[in-house]
Amino acid sequence: MAGRNADVLIGSRIMQHLMSARLDHMPESAGAVANNIREFESLREFFSSSSLVALIDLPFLLLFIWVVYYIGGPLVWPIVIAVPIVILVGLFMQMPFQHIIETHYKESTQKNALLFEIVQGLETIKTSMAEGRMQARWENVVGMSALSNSRAKVLANISITFSVFITQMVSVAIIIIGVYQIAEGQLSMGGLIACNILSSRAMAPLSAVAGLLSRLQQSRMALNALNLLMDLPSERPDDKDTFHYGEIEPTLDVDEVSFSYPGTDKAVLNEVRLHLKPGEKVGIIGRTGAGKSTLGKLCVGLYQPVKGSVKVGNIDLRQMDVANLRRKVGYVSQDPLLFYGTLRDNIAFGLPEADDLSIKNAAEIAGVDEFVRDHPAGYAMKVGERGSSLSGGQRQAVSIARALLPDPEILIMDEPSSNMDNQSEQQLKMRLAPYLKEKTAIFITHRHSMLDLVDRLVVMDKGRIVVDGPKQAVLEGLKSGKIKVAM
């Protein structure tokens, strides 16, 4: 029951914290995170039935020692001497065992991280002809992990085998001493048999404790890994009270915002200032790495500024509940990701209660209906893992429909047509234009054709806004060379 409750309650709490963790503090390797969560099973096992039974048996050790002393007198000495020897040897073995377990844990994490990379990048590995290289890396990591695992098992077996050996020696010692006691008339044959049986029962918990100590280091590593995960900053801290403001004005203010990723000294954004009035459409362009996508993620609360503030309706995002914020501010990522399931499930991913008409309207604007009509399953078609059954442009269309479904007042679209052909992009613009008429929108793009939807243009370079003005004036300045920014 303890193990089951741990699975349900603690497992749920870990996943809840993982999904609310701030993206700017997440570990780089998804495989390492998955391995840390999986290690919860070893921690749960340590606190489940076998460990509890071993701990419950320990008090009976004292009872059995007292009974052996009451029956056989000197026959208790082999047990009294053996108990501290087994415990001390078990504790002494923890020092090398700890080092080996830490090594094995790191190698196991590397193995899982590499496995994730191989599975996710199988297409790239094949087209790059890198099968041999990845095979060699995999064999190297697996070999190191297997070696450290075998060393850990050897030490664990030594500890357990030693306790069994001492148990047998105690039994031999009791029989030898008991024979002399019987010869002197101080003990009966039945007393010797009783003491021998009780000595085995007294030593049994120590064998369990030896096994328990061998699992202690593995559980300690799992606990440390889970603690690192649970220490990640959350979007919803327990000590933070959020306030629901109801209807707010669809304005967006970026006020002197600076941002850098944890562990890096270079600022991705440096004192950025941007103001969007209700209904304004702004395009953001600039060279790769200028900070455009990071700015978009800050505006939807995925990251938090190191300095300055981002406000929606003159309200700092840090005051708002993230769910309430993301209903008001829709976001389309430049890397559209779909999940295994149906097309309908992916469009209504955050709003499973959405009705079919709302899903259809969002799908029509995004262009999803163009390829749904020809499929026999319609919106029940399977998209495959990570949307593998769809093309890049189709995945983008589904991602756009997902963002449009809650009908947000502010829409941020990061490279929404990068995987679409010119005709699909043109049709998308035609459908978006009437929808965005009353909306506030930001388009982050390298494709100047998408700028037909905006009336104001912002140029970013090296984490700063270098130009901000009417679209036509900025484009003419870039074309004439008056505005010199590498694109």
For 115-172, the pLDDT digits (tens) are: 888 887 887 888 888 888 889 988 998 888 888 888 888 887 887 788 888 888 988 9
| 236 located within any domain | no
Contact in structure between 286 and 460 (CB atoms under 8 Å): yes
Three-class DSSP labels, 367-393: CCHHHHCCCCCHHHCECCHHHCCCCHH
Are both 52 and 168 inside the same structural domain?
Answer: yes
Strands (E), 225-366: 252-259, 269-276, 281-286, 307-312, 315-316, 329-332
Contact in structure between 162 and 89 (CB atoms under 8 Å): yes
Paired strand residues for 440? 410
Give CA–CA dist 228/24, Å, rounded. Answer: 15
Q: Per the structure block, which two tokens stand in for 395?
A: 């995945």
Are both 185 and 310 inside the same structural domain?
Answer: no
Max CA distance (Å), the chain: 117
| 487 located within any domain | no
Are both 56 and 95 inside the same structural domain?
Answer: yes
Are both 175 and 311 inside the same structural domain?
Answer: no
Are both 211 and 257 inside the same structural domain?
Answer: no
The residue length of the chain stands at 487
Residue 186 one-letter amino acid? Q
| 486 located within any domain | no
| 244 located within any domain | no
Give CA–CA dist 243/432, Å, rounded. Answer: 32
Contact in structure between 86 and 80 (CB atoms under 8 Å): no
**pLDDT of the residue at 473:** 86
Are both 215 and 256 inside the same structural domain?
Answer: no
Contact in structure between 212 and 51 (CB atoms under 8 Å): yes
Are both 224 and 275 inside the same structural domain?
Answer: no
Strands (E), 81-160: none
Number of structural domains the chain divides into: 2
Residue labelled with tokens 């043109």: 426
Q: Per the structure block, which two tokens stand in for 137?
A: 């890396």
Are both 199 and 119 inside the same structural domain?
Answer: yes
Phi, psi of 219 (to 5 degrees): -70, -35
Give CA–CA dist 448/84, Å, rounded. Answer: 78
In terms of DSSP bridges, do strands 252-259 and 269-276 run parallel, antiparallel, or are they unpaired? antiparallel
| 412 located within any domain | yes
Task: Give the residue from 230, 264, 299 where a domain finishes.
Answer: 230
| 485 located within any domain | no
Indicate the SS3 state at residue 277. coil
pTM of the full structure: 0.74
Distance in angstroms between the alpha carbons of the first and the last residue of the chain: 62
Indicate the SS3 state at residue 278. coil
What is the full per-residue pLDDT of the chain (487 aa) written as tens digits?
A: 666 776 777 778 888 888 877 777 777 677 777 777 777 777 777 766 566 677 777 788 888 888 888 888 888 899 888 888 888 887 787 778 778 877 887 888 888 888 888 887 887 888 888 888 889 988 998 888 888 888 888 887 887 788 888 888 988 998 888 888 888 888 888 888 898 888 888 887 777 776 677 677 777 777 887 887 788 777 776 666 666 767 788 888 988 889 888 777 788 888 889 999 888 999 998 888 888 888 988 888 888 888 888 888 888 888 887 878 888 888 988 888 888 888 888 888 888 888 889 988 998 888 888 888 888 888 888 888 878 888 888 888 999 999 998 888 899 999 888 888 888 888 888 998 888 888 899 999 888 888 888 888 988 888 888 888 888 888 888 777 666 654 4
| 34 located within any domain | yes
Query: Under 8 Å CB-to-CB from 395, ≥6 apart: which residues?
Result: 336, 337, 338, 387, 419
The H or E element spanning position 215 is helix 189-230
Are both 198 and 281 inside the same structural domain?
Answer: no
| CATH number for position 107 | 1.20.1560.10
Instruction: Quote the Cα angle for 214-215-220, to 5°.
Output: 115
Helices (H) and strands (E) in the chain, counts: 17, 10
Indicate the SS3 state at residue 165. helix
CA of 239: how far to CAs of 16, 245, 316, 317, in Å? 16, 19, 18, 16
Task: Give the residue from 183, 200, 230 where a domain finishes.
Answer: 230
Tell which residue, 3, 33, 42, 28, has the closest CA to residue 15: 33
CA of 83: how far to CAs of 76, 95, 158, 447, in Å? 11, 20, 17, 76
Are both 351 and 391 inside the same structural domain?
Answer: yes
Structural domain containing residue 458: 252-480
**pLDDT of the residue at 443:** 92
Give CA–CA dist 381/398, Å, rounded. Answer: 13
Give CA–CA dist 387/210, Å, rounded. Answer: 49
Residue 358 one-letter amino acid? S
| 372 located within any domain | yes
Are both 289 and 225 inside the same structural domain?
Answer: no
Are both 212 and 258 inside the same structural domain?
Answer: no
Rg of the chain over Cα atoms, rounded to whole angstroms, equals: 33
Query: Under 8 Å CB-to-CB from 154, ≥6 apart: which residues?
Result: none
| CATH number for position 468 | 3.40.50.300
**pLDDT of the residue at 487:** 46
